[in-house]
Amino acid sequence: MTLSVQQHRLSLSMALCLLLAACSGPQDVRESRFIMGTLVQFTVAGVEKDKALDAIRAAADEMQRIEDDFTIYGTHANAVKAFNASTPGQTVSLPAGVDDLLRMARDVAHQSGGAFSPVIGSLSLLWGFSLPEAPASPPSDDAIARARSGSDIGKLVMAQAGWKRLSNQTMLDFGAIAKGYAIDRGIDVLKKHGIANAILDAGGDLRMIGDHQGKPWRIGLRHPRKPGATLGWFEASGDISIVTSGDYERFFIYQGRRYQHILDPATGMPAGLSSSATVITAANATLADAWSTALFVLGEKGVPLVGAQGMQALLVDADGVLHQSKLTLLPFHPSTQ
């Protein structure tokens, strides 16, 4: 078939119209903020830029408030630091938000057999992975034993009027759960601003809602040993959380051995069974965060435990072998590199 110049122009402009119609919705709006020691990336789809930016600003402010309320670092005074300085045996009443998250954290501590502990603060401060000056060598065995003596969940007691710590080595540390909680609160704020399609990604820990211009969001999972490479990917739409704990996030090498920031409360030493632990669940990034840390500590035997909680587990062990739970909410597509 031959076309006259005019017909040709017409079909060209029609094709252009169709193309424009396909992408005539508003562009994605992306913004980043540095919160909780990590770059938090917001992607909002399907709404006008001003509306998206207002929502993102409000969500980021809320996440910053959560960091301020829960951190045990820096000079900002908060109830968590006050608890950590309280007299052992004395009951301290905690603000509702802290009390709620601590109850959740205590439940995961029990369900994970102590692999996750929200009272690991003395050990975290001793190892110093989250201090401004990164450590370069491990602490002494004596110092580890002392800090470890307070890190067992049994050393934290819930009383009628609050909580008490039984030892001056028992210190709260929400580092393994507060980021997930902040993500959940950030998503709540986005939803209240009328956002239905978004990803809130806090350094690889994320929750997504809705979809991307009518198609599923596509999420890559970082390779624990190849910087910049992915281990594989997921496709998802709806309200899903994907949270990963990895030994590549904060670590040092000392005398040929890797020391990383996720500690085994039973030994006081960096957990050595895993290199990357991912938990996937509907909606709840708080629980996914707590359980990804527990899974990292437990290694392969944690995989069915996470499955029994109704969540999906994906674990790369210390030898690089991939283990997955029977329960699959999202199929995992391994990269072919």
CB of 82 to ligand AMP, least distance (A): 18
Of 307, 304, 280, 251, nearest in space to 128 by CA: 251
Q: Is 245 in the site for ligand AMP (CB under 6 A)?
A: yes
Return contacts of 330-336, CB within 8 angstroms, 24+ apart: 330/234, 330/235, 330/236, 330/240, 330/242, 330/280, 331/234, 331/235, 332/221, 332/232, 332/233, 332/234, 333/232, 333/233, 333/234, 333/235, 334/231, 334/232, 335/223, 335/229, 335/230, 335/231, 335/232, 335/233
Which range in 44-52, 110-118, 246-254, 285-293 contacts Mg ion by CB under 5 A? 285-293
Q: Which of Mg ion, ligand AMP, none sits in contact with 178, Cβ below 5 to 8 A by type?
A: none
CB of 11 to ligand AMP, least distance (A): 55
* Residue listed under structure tokens 């609050």: 162
Q: Is 175 in the site for ligand AMP (CB under 6 A)?
A: yes
Report the sign of the C-alpha dihedral through residues 157, 163, 168, 170, in that order.
Answer: positive
Give the other-Cβ count within 10 Å of 191's Cβ.
16
**Closest residue to ligand AMP, based on beta-carbon distance:** 175
Q: Determine phi and psi for 313, rounding to 5 degrees.
A: -120, 145
Q: Is 176 in the site for Mg ion (CB under 5 A)?
A: yes
Return the structure tokens found at 161: 């009027």
String of contacts with ligand AMP for each residue 202-231, x by CB under 6 A: ------------------------------
CB of 245 to ligand AMP, least distance (A): 3
CB of 54 to ligand AMP, least distance (A): 29
Q: Is 278 in the site for ligand AMP (CB under 6 A)?
A: no
Q: Let me know how long the chain is.
A: 337
Single out the residue of 130, 167, 230, 267 in contact with ligand AMP (rule: CB under 6 A): 130
Q: Is 84 in the site for ligand AMP (CB under 6 A)?
A: no
Single out the residue of 43, 71, 84, 117 in contact with ligand AMP (rule: CB under 6 A): 117
Q: Which of ligand AMP, Mg ion, none sits in contact with 144, Cβ below 5 to 8 A by type?
A: none
Q: Which residues are CB-neighbours of 218 under 8 A, at least 6 positions away?
A: 212, 233, 234, 235
Q: Is 144 in the site for ligand AMP (CB under 6 A)?
A: no
Dist CA 169 CA 156 (whole Å): 11
The angle formed by the CA atoms of residues 316, 249 and 217, to the nearest 5 degrees, is 70
Residue type, 296: F
Identify whether the C-beta of residue 150 lies closer than 8 Å to the C-beta of residue 170.
yes
Single out the residue of 69, 184, 247, 289 in contact with Mg ion (rule: CB under 5 A): 289
Q: Is 293 in the site for ligand AMP (CB under 6 A)?
A: yes
Q: Which of ligand AMP, Mg ion, none sits in contact with 175, Cβ below 5 to 8 A by type?
A: ligand AMP
Which range in 159-167, 173-181, 279-287, 299-307 contacts ligand AMP by CB under 6 A? 173-181
Q: Is 129 in the site for ligand AMP (CB under 6 A)?
A: yes
Give the other-Cβ count within 10 Å of 202's Cβ.
25
Q: Is 281 in the site for Mg ion (CB under 5 A)?
A: no
Return the structure tokens found at 249: 């996030």
Dist CA 264 CA 41 (whole Å): 30
Single out the residue of 263, 279, 298, 305 in contact with ligand AMP (rule: CB under 6 A): 263
| Residue 209 CA to its chain's centroid (Å) | 16
Which range in 51-59, 95-103, 114-122, 153-161 contacts ligand AMP by CB under 6 A? 114-122
Binding site for Mg ion (CB under 5 A): 176, 289, 292-293
Residues that bind ligand AMP (CB under 6 A): 116-117, 120, 124, 129-130, 173, 175-176, 245, 261-263, 265, 289, 292-293, 296-297
